[in-house]
Amino acid sequence: MKELQPLRVLIVEDETHFRQGLRTFLSFFGNQESHLLEIIGEADSADQAIQLAEQQPALILLDLELAESSGIQVLQHLQEHSFKGKVLVLSGHQEDDWIFQAIQAGATGYVFKHQLLTQLPEAIRAITRSEMYLPPAATHGFFRRFQSYEQSRWRLRQQYHLTEREKDVLNWLAQGASNEEISRHLYVTVATVKAHLTNIFEKLEVTSRTQAIVAAFKLGLVQNYSSSYW
C-alpha cells in the first residue's frame, strides 16, 4: 500500500495564543483523519509568510489582519508568483466584502474564527478534494456580491465598445505576442495590427502596451493565461 504523504501546512497568525491553539487543534485533527498534517512553519507577519511560502506548503492558514500588514497582500503576492498550494483564510470578519475580497485575491476558502472547531475540519477536507470552502451562512452573500461585481464589470466592458477584432488583438497582446506574431495568428498585416492597437489604446485611455494589458485584466476584457501562447 502506498504511504500517504502528509499535508504540509504553514500557519500565518500574529496572535500567539491563537496560533498555539491552532497548532494543537491541527495535531488533534490530523490524528483523526486518514491524512497526516505536517506544520512546516509559523509566521506572524506578511514578510515572514511570503518567505516561508517559498517552501511550497500544500496549505496556508492565513489570518487576514496581521499586525503591520494585510493578509490580502500575502494573497496577492502568492497569486502573482504562481503559488501552487491552497490558502484558507481565518478571520473574525463575516461581512460579504471581506469574504469576496479574499476569494478574489486567491483564497481557496474562508473560515470564521469563532466557528473554527466546526468549520476548519470541513474546509480542510474540501480543499483536499480540490473544492472551495465557504461557511454555509456566507454562501448566499458571497454569490450576491459576485453577481454584483460581474454586472459592474460587464457594464464597464460595454463602455469601451471594443470590436471583436480588437478583442482578438488584445487577447494576443495580453499573452505577450509581438505585432508580427499577432498578424500571423489573425491573418492580417502588421499595419492592420498597429491600427487596431491605436484604437484599443484610445478606447482604454492608455498610452502603452503594458498599460493596455493591465487595464484589460482589471476590466475582465481578457483572462489570465498560465501558459505561453506558443
32 and 120 share one domain: yes
Share of residues in the chain with pLDDT > 90 (%): 43
Place of cell 502603452: 208
Per-residue pLDDT averaged across 78-100, rounded?
89
Phi-psi region of 192 (alpha: psi -120 to 50; beta: other; left: phi over 0): alpha
In a domain, 224, yes or no: no
> Which CATH number goes with the domain that contains 77?
3.40.50.2300
SS3 57: coil
Q: Look at residue 230 in the predicted model and tell me its pLDDT.
A: 34
Structural domain total, the chain = 2
Whole-prediction pTM: 0.63
131 and 194 share one domain: no
- Of 30-34, 55-59, 103-107, 122-126, minimum mean pLDDT range: 30-34
What does the angle CA 153 – CA 154 – CA 160 come to, to the nearest 5 degrees? 95
| Domain end point (choices 106, 141, 176) | 141
In a domain, 200, yes or no: yes
Share of residues in the chain with pLDDT > 70 (%): 83
Per-residue pLDDT averaged across 73-95, rounded?
90
> Quick one: DSSP state of residue 65?
B
69 and 173 share one domain: no
Q: 82 or 189, which is more confident?
A: 189
In a domain, 73, yes or no: yes
SS3 51: helix
Residue 147, all three cell numbers: 453577481
Q: Look at residue 220 in the predicted model and tell me its pLDDT.
A: 75
Q: Look at residue 158 in the predicted model and tell me its pLDDT.
A: 56
Cα–Cα separations (whole angstroms), residue 147 to 41, 60, 71, 131, 223? 37, 28, 24, 20, 18
